[in-house]
Structure 1
Amino acid sequence: MKLSNVLSSVNQIEKSKFVNFLDRVCSEASHTDKELARRIRNIDGQIKDASSGEVTLLFKLALPLLTKEVKRLLALSGAQASLLVNILSRDGNCVAQVSWIERLYTKEWKAINEHSKSVKELIEQGSEPGVFDENRRLGIYYSCVKEAFQNDELNNREAKITDEERGILNVLANQLDVTAEDKVAIEHLVDPIDKVGVQECLNQLREIGLLFISKKEQTVYVPDEIVSMLYRIQGKQIADKHLLRILRTLADAELSNILKAHDKKIRGVERTQKIESIAKMGLSATQILAHDLHGEKVLVNVKKERLKQLIDDLQLKLDKLGTTLEERCELILEALNTSADREFNVLSAAGYKALFETITECMPKIVKTLRDEFELEDNIELDVERLRALSITPYDILYTLTNDEVKSLKVAMEITRRGDARQVIVEAFANATDKLIENYEALARRDLAALKQKNIEIAEADIGVKFEEVTKAIFEELGFEVDEDLRRQINTAKDKADILISLSDDDVIIGEAKTCKNGDFAKYSTTSRQIKAYVNRCESAGKRVSQVLIIAPTFSSDFVESAELDTEVNISLLEAAGLKKILEAYKSRRNPNFSAKLLTKGGLLKADLIAKRI
């Protein structure tokens, strides 16, 4: 979930810690940063009174300084804070209830404690003279960690590992080929991680601006921008889900090469176990791509060619391939790190929902697979809105399945087109949305016969929802940001807005999609009550409603007159055929000149004139 959406989700008290921390860092930095100082002057120096958009912009400007300060404070916070940060920054944990975080922490602590016992046994076994095996390497690293922790006591200071010492230990671990899993276990042996006190530690992390806690919902929010910052602090090049995506694309022999490069067992180890073991080792993605996956004495040109094939296998769209091995690795990682928006845009909101529902129907175990893969709460309903809030894309879902499972899914979906199975599955749902857009007017009129004639099978009870979803898809094709995160936040069991379009961090358009079977749409009083409730919900979340836009097949003259005379909200009306005409004009232009202002004139909009302006 984006920072701007999180700020809209929590109240003033709940976001005060973050704003206070940002205020302190910005105030200190503004003495030397002219641009930051100018931004602060624009809000009269009162960051605490800034809008969500202004706070988000200040965060971006101050990010290098914030990263440096957070890194310093985390180094002083101890092993428990480090473990919690590791949990909170993992895929799927950026929005979770406090009780769920506590359960994940307990599970992680037990795993670390058990593994530390195994590591201790290896260290105590020792090695034969002259043999530099894993026991010897772990023993050396253990001795160094112990020295780094205890040397402060010689100077009558509190025992701890400083940030500088940790940097040296990281270099040592890399040279000794000590995995991330073993590093944490050894540090737990030297400085045991507290088993309890998670709530206190969460509050400590909140003080340094790393998370928000909604008291009413007892929910922890870690914005996407902060997760990215934590990755940099942890030295992570890509998210865990993207590393797994790479590993699941590699051949069995290449997975074995990675394990062999680090003296790990490969004989009798299943493919899924290989992937799991590599993921836990904490290897850098660059090391895997440039060195480990290739066999011994493989030429650089052969490695580059293999990465070129990997780019195709991962369906990455790169402007260039890179001339050196290192550059090619960087381009792959950059493409994965910036893939979320592109992967969400491949499918409309309606297409994503249809894809998820179809996968769930063909392969019911996908829900459990996603819960396990992304550590999702077992008492929360899993739907597309929740997945989007957790930045889980359609491709992320398909990459949780093995290659064989994806092929079986393709067959079950009766998709016959050849090509990469994951790609053709996604494209099939993009095409399905296009077909509904072509028949948008019939959908608006609830004309089942016309839809059936075009081989579109929809139950009459589902037409309203489908019309809403296709309307969202049209707005997305027009370049608008259909904000499902915000819609999910403001909707209640009673008040449920159809569409929310974010024009900026603070300005929105509320959209209502209305079907009508016979005649013109005429229910103004009911519709008016609905939209005014949605406006109030948006304003309570700190958003300015620039316009309310109602889409229907046609409107009665009384409805049009009532909308024009309504003084409480600004209402624009647009007929379904008109919206489709605008989309066709937009798609026909090489450089369309289209602005949201064309939809905010009020009253019944003239689609013909708007189409000409585009």
Structure 2
Amino acid sequence: MKLEKILDKLGSLEKNSFIKIIDNIISKNPQNSIEIDKILSSSDKGLKSVDSRNVSNIFALISSEFTEYLKCEFQETNSQLDILIDIIIRDGNCLMRQDWFSRLYEKEIKNLKLKIKTLNTELLNEKSELSESRKRDYRIYKACLSTAYNNDIANNRDAKITADEHSIILTLSKQLGLSQEDVKLIKYSILPIKKEEIQDVITNLKNLGVIFYSKKENTIYVADEIVRLLRKVREKEIAEKFYRRTLKLLRDPIINQIAKEHNIDRKLPTSVKIEEIIDQGVSFTDLLTYGIYKEGTNLTEKKKTLNELCEKGLNIPNLKGSTLEDKIQSLIEYFDNIEKDEKVGISIDGFDKMLSELNQSLPKLNKELKEQFELNDEYVLSADYLLDYNIKPRDILDLITKPDMSKFILDNGIKQRGDAILNILDHYKDVENLYLENYANVGYRNLNLLKENGISVKESELGLKFEELTKIIFKGLGFNVDDKFKNKLNTQKDMIDILLNLGNDEIIIVECKTSKERGYNKFSTVSRQLKSYQNLALKNNLRIAKMLLVSPEFSDDFIYDCEMDTEMNLSLITASTLSKIFESFKMSKYQEFPHVLFRDIVINEERIIKALTK
């Protein structure tokens, strides 16, 4: 769930710890302080009175400082932060009830103790499957960590690992090629591991600013933006779902090779070995640098293998970068951008239809999803529900086995030739709703983002498409979009985009403007155009209830000029605001949108949404 949405749901007390941390970072003059001051300048009472969207914008501006703050907290030896963060950054754990989190925490401690016992036995067992070189790596790391922790006792001080020692130990673990799980097991084989009271755990995480907790709903929230930062702290470069997507493309001998390197039982089924590799926290960069190639593979062959994996397996043509390191970084950035994108590749309606038909063809899928993503509700096959957990259509299809995929495709008449997953996504695309979900991107004429979200359109068609979508939205708001009357009024010189007929010779004129540049700023041009439409309407004895200008955004100068204009009853509305009003209207009690709410110079979406939900 996005940070803005979480902040909107919670009261001031529940947000207090997080706001205090952000305030503290701002007070230390962060890198983007000028941009932050611009946001705060509109508020007299500081950060506490800033709306959720702007708090979210400020958090994005101080994300690097917030990450550094978390890294400092991580150096507290007895904090159990590594255990707790590994739970809350797993796919599906960003939204949990307290009892479910308690169960996951208890299970994690129990599993950790069992794994520590197994590792200690393996290190002493001469017939262990662990190679002698791997045993040596573990022993070296364990000895160094033990010295760093216990040398304080010899000097009559509390046992702890200092910041300097921590950075050396971290470097050592990387050079030895240890996974996050290896590091954790060795750490807790030296440090005492103790299960804390769950309320204390929640309070500590809340005070650190990494979770939000609603007592009323008994629910823990972890914002998507914070999950990404916590992954950086744990040095997990990509989400588990993208790691799984990549591993599933590898042949069994390669999976076995990785399993052997990281002490994973090679007799396990391939799907289980893949989950074990992910759980181990094996570095994605290390995996693509060394782990997926046969011994003796040269650099040119490695690059060729990685290119083929991306082009044929992940459908990413022309992976950027000339060196192997650059290519791997490009792939990480690609996955990062997909995760940040709020769009799902198909429409929400299409997603719901896909889930419904998956449930009919594969009745066990609901249970499998619950287990895979550790979801605590009974029925989880709902688009809105899964999107709150940042689980998208492709993430679900990645979990389905080939036989089940074939059955689903046959059951639902989906194209069989070519890539099965892409064929399924195309089948459920629902173009009109997909366009509506990308309404602001059409307004911005953002061809690249539209393409990434599954929309193929020519740039020359975007202006007309933006107008068509605006019409669909106003029809959805219950207005009479009267094209017949508009065409009768229009002349060769004056061509109104959209006319809303309110009856009794009363109309609303809507003008649509796309803009590639940020901040629409051509007021003089558009005002002449609108005034001529106004004159045209008045000549025909029509009363203009309102004139609306719809664009992706407006510059400050444009808004100022509009405020100074005394001749037109004009309001400005951004594409994203109109889209959000439309979504709220669909769930309101109204059959027709009360147009009197269009009374600001720049339409205030929060005020209108509040009015609609009363």
TM-score when normalising by structure 2: 0.70
Question: Are 1:595 and 2:521 counterparts?
Answer: no
Contact kept, 8 Å, 2:320 with 2:327, in 1: the verdict is yes
Residue-by-residue CA offset, 1:453-501 (whole Å, 9 max, x unaligned): xxxxxxxxxxxxxxxxx5xx452243379xxxxxxxxxxxxxxxxxxxx
Q: Distance in 1 between matches of 2:12 and 2:383?
A: 28
Question: Are 1:238 and 2:199 counterparts?
Answer: no
Distance 1:181 1:474, change over 3 A: closer
Please give the secondary structure, in 2, of the residue aligned with 1:202: helix
Residue-by-residue CA offset, 1:245-289 (whole Å, 9 max, x unaligned): 1101212122123234557554x4432233133223322112212
Q: How does 1:424-573 map to 2 (within 5 A)?
A: 424-430=423-429, 433-434=430-431, 437=432, 470=433, 473-479=434-440, 550-552=476-478
Please give the secondary structure, in 2, of the residue aligned with 1:96: strand
Q: Distance in 1 between matches of 2:476 and 2:404?
A: 43
Please give the secondary structure, in 2, of the residue aligned with 1:220: strand
Q: Distance in 2 between matches of 1:37 and 1:206?
A: 26
Higher-RCO chain (CA-CA 8 Å, sequence separation at least 6): 1
Please give the secondary structure, in 1, of the residue aligned with 2:96: strand
Counterpart of 1:497? none
Deviation at 1:318, TM superposition (A): 5.4
Please give the secondary structure, in 2, of the residue aligned with 1:344: coil
Distance 1:383 1:32, change over 3 A: closer
Q: Distance in 2 between matches of 1:227 and 1:264?
A: 27
**Paired letter, 1:277:** E
Deviation at 1:137, TM superposition (A): 3.1
Residue-by-residue CA offset, 1:219-253 (whole Å, 9 max, x unaligned): 11111111111111111111111111110121212
Contact kept, 8 Å, 1:30 with 1:37, in 2: the verdict is no
Q: Distance in 1 between matches of 2:595 and 2:47?
A: 38
Deviation at 1:26, TM superposition (A): 1.0
Counterpart of 1:60? 60
**Paired letter, 1:405:** D
Q: How does 1:272-311 map to 2 (within 5 A)?
A: 272-311=271-310
Please give the secondary structure, in 2, of the residue aligned with 1:213: strand
Q: How does 1:117-196 map to 2 (within 5 A)?
A: 117-125=117-125, 132-196=132-196
Residue-by-residue CA offset, 1:44-102 (whole Å, 9 max, x unaligned): 46112211122112212222212111221232273423211111111111111111111
Counterpart of 1:84? 84
Please give the secondary structure, in 1, of the residue aligned with 2:236: coil
Contact kept, 8 Å, 1:551 with 1:573, in 2: the verdict is no
Identity in percent: 28
Contact kept, 8 Å, 2:2 with 2:224, in 1: the verdict is yes
Residue-by-residue CA offset, 1:565-609 (whole Å, 9 max, x unaligned): xxxxxxx9799xxxxxx9xx999x9x99962746699759xxxxx
Please give the secondary structure, in 1, of the residue aligned with 2:440: coil
Counterpart of 1:374? 373
Residue-by-residue CA offset, 1:341-380 (whole Å, 9 max, x unaligned): 6583421111111111111111111111111111111446
Counterpart of 1:330? 329
Q: Distance in 1 between matches of 2:501 and 2:90?
A: 43
Counterpart of 1:114? 114
Question: Are 1:406 and 2:405 counterparts?
Answer: yes
Q: Distance in 2 between matches of 1:58 and 1:553?
A: 37
Q: Distance in 2 between matches of 1:573 and 1:307?
A: 55
Q: Distance in 1 between matches of 2:501 and 2:95?
A: 36
Residue-by-residue CA offset, 1:5-64 (whole Å, 9 max, x unaligned): 110011111111111111112112269944444544443461122111221122122222
Contact kept, 8 Å, 2:179 with 2:283, in 1: the verdict is no
Distance 1:474 1:179, change over 3 A: closer
Q: Distance in 2 between matches of 1:341 and 1:62?
A: 17
TM-score when normalising by structure 1: 0.70
Question: Are 1:352 and 2:313 counterparts?
Answer: no
Residue-by-residue CA offset, 1:126-157 (whole Å, 9 max, x unaligned): 799xx944444333322222222112223333
Distance 1:320 1:132, change over 3 A: closer
Deviation at 1:162, TM superposition (A): 3.1
Q: How does 1:574-613 map to 2 (within 5 A)?
A: 595=551, 597=572, 603=595
Deviation at 1:327, TM superposition (A): 1.5
Q: Distance in 2 between matches of 1:31 and 1:284?
A: 29
Please give the secondary structure, in 1, of the residue aligned with 2:100: helix
Counterpart of 1:541? none
Distance 1:263 1:353, change over 3 A: closer
Contact kept, 8 Å, 2:32 with 2:61, in 1: the verdict is no
**Paired letter, 2:372:** E
**Paired letter, 1:385:** D
Please give the secondary structure, in 2, of the residue aligned with 1:238: coil
Counterpart of 1:465? none
Q: Distance in 2 between matches of 1:53 and 1:369?
A: 35
The more displaced of 381-390 and 8-17 is 381-390
Please give the secondary structure, in 1, of the residue aligned with 2:75: helix
Residue-by-residue CA offset, 1:202-226 (whole Å, 9 max, x unaligned): 2111112111101110111111111
**Paired letter, 1:361:** Q
Counterpart of 1:249? 249
Please give the secondary structure, in 2, of the residue aligned with 1:351: helix
Residue-by-residue CA offset, 1:162-214 (whole Å, 9 max, x unaligned): 34323322332333343332322222221122213222122111112111101
* Structure 1 alignment gaps of length 5 or more: 438-469, 482-510, 515-546, 557-571, 576-581, 605-614
Residue-by-residue CA offset, 1:403-422 (whole Å, 9 max, x unaligned): 34323322232223411111
Q: Distance in 1 between matches of 2:148 and 2:399?
A: 40
Q: Distance in 2 between matches of 1:41 and 1:586?
A: 29
The more displaced of 142-151 and 202-211 is 142-151
Distance 1:340 1:289, change over 3 A: same
Distance 1:39 1:81, change over 3 A: same
Counterpart of 2:565? none
Question: Are 1:211 and 2:211 counterparts?
Answer: yes
Please give the secondary structure, in 1, of the residue aligned with 2:196: coil
Q: Distance in 1 between matches of 2:45 and 2:29?
A: 13
Counterpart of 2:24? 24
Deviation at 1:111, TM superposition (A): 0.5
Please give the secondary structure, in 1, of the residue aligned with 2:140: helix
Q: Distance in 2 between matches of 1:152 and 1:316?
A: 53
Q: Distance in 1 between matches of 2:31 and 2:337?
A: 33
Distance 1:327 1:134, change over 3 A: closer
Contact kept, 8 Å, 1:316 with 1:335, in 2: the verdict is no
Q: Distance in 2 between matches of 1:371 and 1:60?
A: 31
Question: Are 1:3 and 2:15 counterparts?
Answer: no
Deviation at 1:333, TM superposition (A): 1.4
Distance 1:413 1:317, change over 3 A: same
Contact kept, 8 Å, 2:4 with 2:52, in 1: the verdict is yes
**Paired letter, 1:595:** S
Q: Distance in 1 between matches of 2:175 and 2:127?
A: 19
